[in-house]
Structure 1
Amino acid sequence: MAEIQQNQYDFSGSETTIKEALPLLNSIKDSVYNWKIYTILGIDNTNVYNYNNALYYFYKALSLKTDEAKKLKTKNNIASVLIKQQKYNEALQILLSLCVDKNIHENPEYYSKILDKIGFCYFKLENRIALFYYTKSLEIKSELKNDSELGKTYYYLAEYYQKHDPALSIKYANLSYNKYSITNCIDNRLRTLGLLIKNNSGTELKRNSITYVELTDSIFEIKQKAKNLFARIKYDSKKEKEENLKLKSRKIKNELQLARQENQNIISYIIILAALVFIIILYFYLTSRANREKLKATYHSETRISKKLHDELANDVYHAMVFAENTDLSIPQNKQLLIDNLDTIYTRTSNISKEKQPINTDKDYILSLKQMISGFYTPNITLLLNDLDTIVWDEIEKTKKITLYRTLQELLVNMKKHSKATLVVLTFKRNNSTILINYSDNGQGIDLKKIVLRNGLHNVENRIYAIKGSIDIESTPGKGFKVFIKFPLHE
Structure 2
Amino acid sequence: MITKKTYFSYLLIVTLLLLYSCQQKSSINKKEAYNKAKVDKLIAIADTLFDNNKLDSAFYYYNEAIFICVPSKDADNYISTLNRMAIIQQTHGDYAGTEATITKALPYTKYVKNQLHTWNLYVTLSTNYLETYDYKNAILYNQKALQLNTKNWRKLAAKNNIAVALIQEKKYRQALTILLPIETKKEVMRDESFYGSILANIGLCYFRLKENENALGYLNKALEIRKKVKSPYGLGKSYFHLAQFYEQQNPSLSKEFILLSYKEYGKINYVDGRLSALKMIIKNSSNKELKDYSAIYINLVDSIDEVRQKAKNQFAKIKYDSKREKEENLKLKTHKAENELKLERQKNRNIASYIIIVLSLCLILILYYYLTSKAKREKIEAAYNSEIRISKKLHDELANDIYHTMAFAENKNLSLAENKIQLLNNLDAIYSRTRDISRENCTIATDENYVLLLKDMISGFGKSNINLILNGLESIAWNEIDKNKKITIYRVLQELLVNMRKYSEATLVGITFKNAEKSILINYTDNGKGIETDKIIFKNGLYNVESRILKTKGQIDITSSLNEGFKAFIKIPV
In 2, the alpha carbon distance for the partners of 1:84 and 1:169 equals 22
Summarize the alignment of residues 326-345 of structure 1 with structure 2, pairs less than 5 Å apart.
none
In 1, the alpha carbon distance for the partners of 2:132 and 2:157 equals 20
How many angstroms does 1:257 deviate by? 2.4
Q: Which moved more, 1:115-124 or 1:248-257?
A: 248-257
Question: CA distance change for structure 1 residues 149 and 271 in 2, over 3 Å: closer, same or farther?
Answer: farther
Question: CA distance change for structure 1 residues 246 and 202 in 2, over 3 Å: closer, same or farther?
Answer: same
In 1, the alpha carbon distance for the partners of 2:332 and 2:367 equals 39
Task: Choose which of 318, 340, 343 in structure 2 pairs with 1:258.
Answer: 343
Who is 1:207 aligned against? 292
SS at match of 1:179: helix
What 5-or-longer segments of structure 2 have no aligned partner? 1-84, 357-362, 370-574
How many angstroms does 1:148 deviate by? 2.5
Who is 1:65 aligned against? 149
Task: Choose which of 127, 135, 150 in structure 2 pairs with 1:51.
Answer: 135
Who is 2:90 aligned against? 6
How many angstroms does 1:252 deviate by? 1.0
Who is 2:327 aligned against? 242
How many angstroms does 1:69 deviate by? 2.1
Question: CA distance change for structure 1 residues 18 and 162 in 2, over 3 Å: closer, same or farther?
Answer: same
Counterpart check, 1:79 vs 2:167: no
In 1, the alpha carbon distance for the partners of 2:368 and 2:179 equals 79
Counterpart check, 1:137 vs 2:236: no
- With CA pairs under 8 Å and 6+ residues apart, which has the higher RCO, 1 or 2? 2
Summarize the alignment of residues 40-189 of structure 1 with structure 2, pairs less than 5 Å apart.
40-128=124-212, 129-189=214-274
How many angstroms does 1:213 deviate by? 0.5
In 1, the alpha carbon distance for the partners of 2:338 and 2:172 equals 63
Task: Choose which of 215, 218, 223 in structure 1 pairs with 2:308.
Answer: 223
Contact 1:35 1:61 in 2 (8 A): yes
SS at match of 1:152: helix
How many angstroms does 1:5 deviate by? 1.2
Deviations 1:353-401 (A, max 9, x none): xxxxxxxxxxxxxxxxxxxxxxxxxxxxxxxxxxxxxxxxxxxxxxxxx
Who is 1:286 aligned against? none
In 2, the alpha carbon distance for the partners of 1:21 and 1:180 equals 33
SS at match of 2:164: helix
Q: Percent identity?
A: 46
Query: So what's the TM-score if we normalise by structure 1?
Result: 0.53
Deviations 1:18-45 (A, max 9, x none): 1111221222232122212222211111
In 1, the alpha carbon distance for the partners of 2:167 and 2:349 equals 70
Matched pairs, number: 276
**Which of these two proteins has the greater Rg computed from alpha carbons?**
1
Contact 1:155 1:173 in 2 (8 A): yes
In 1, the alpha carbon distance for the partners of 2:366 and 2:136 equals 68
How many angstroms does 1:272 deviate by? 8.1
How many angstroms does 1:130 deviate by? 0.6
What 5-or-longer segments of structure 1 have no aligned partner? 277-491
Give the 4+ runs in structure 1 shifted more than 4 A: 264-276
Counterpart residue identity of residue 168, structure 1: L
In 2, the alpha carbon distance for the partners of 1:271 and 1:73 equals 79
In 2, the alpha carbon distance for the partners of 1:186 and 1:236 equals 30
Deviations 1:250-291 (A, max 9, x none): 111211122234436859999986999xxxxxxxxxxxxxxx
Counterpart residue identity of residue 122, structure 1: Y
In 2, the alpha carbon distance for the partners of 1:71 and 1:127 equals 28
How many angstroms does 1:83 deviate by? 1.1
Question: CA distance change for structure 1 residues 27 and 274 in 2, over 3 Å: closer, same or farther?
Answer: farther
How many angstroms does 1:249 deviate by? 1.4
Task: Choose which of 122, 125, 150 in structure 2 pairs with 1:38.
Answer: 122
Question: CA distance change for structure 1 residues 8 and 165 in 2, over 3 Å: closer, same or farther?
Answer: same
Question: CA distance change for structure 1 residues 258 and 49 in 2, over 3 Å: closer, same or farther?
Answer: same
In 1, the alpha carbon distance for the partners of 2:344 and 2:323 equals 31
Who is 2:99 aligned against? 15
SS at match of 2:294: helix
Contact 1:99 1:111 in 2 (8 A): yes
Question: CA distance change for structure 1 residues 201 and 30 in 2, over 3 Å: closer, same or farther?
Answer: same
In 1, the alpha carbon distance for the partners of 2:279 and 2:111 equals 48
Deviations 1:37-79 (A, max 9, x none): 2222111111112221222211111111111122111111111
SS at match of 1:173: helix
Deviations 1:326-345 (A, max 9, x none): xxxxxxxxxxxxxxxxxxxx
Counterpart residue identity of residue 109, structure 2: L
Deviations 1:456-489 (A, max 9, x none): xxxxxxxxxxxxxxxxxxxxxxxxxxxxxxxxxx
In 1, the alpha carbon distance for the partners of 2:263 and 2:364 equals 86
Deviations 1:103-153 (A, max 9, x none): 110011110111111111111111111100011011112222222221111
Who is 1:343 aligned against? none
How many angstroms does 1:209 deviate by? 0.9
Contact 1:147 1:180 in 2 (8 A): yes
In 2, the alpha carbon distance for the partners of 1:76 and 1:40 equals 14
Contact 1:12 1:48 in 2 (8 A): no
Question: CA distance change for structure 1 residues 263 and 49 in 2, over 3 Å: closer, same or farther?
Answer: farther
Question: CA distance change for structure 1 residues 272 and 75 in 2, over 3 Å: closer, same or farther?
Answer: farther
SS at match of 1:204: helix
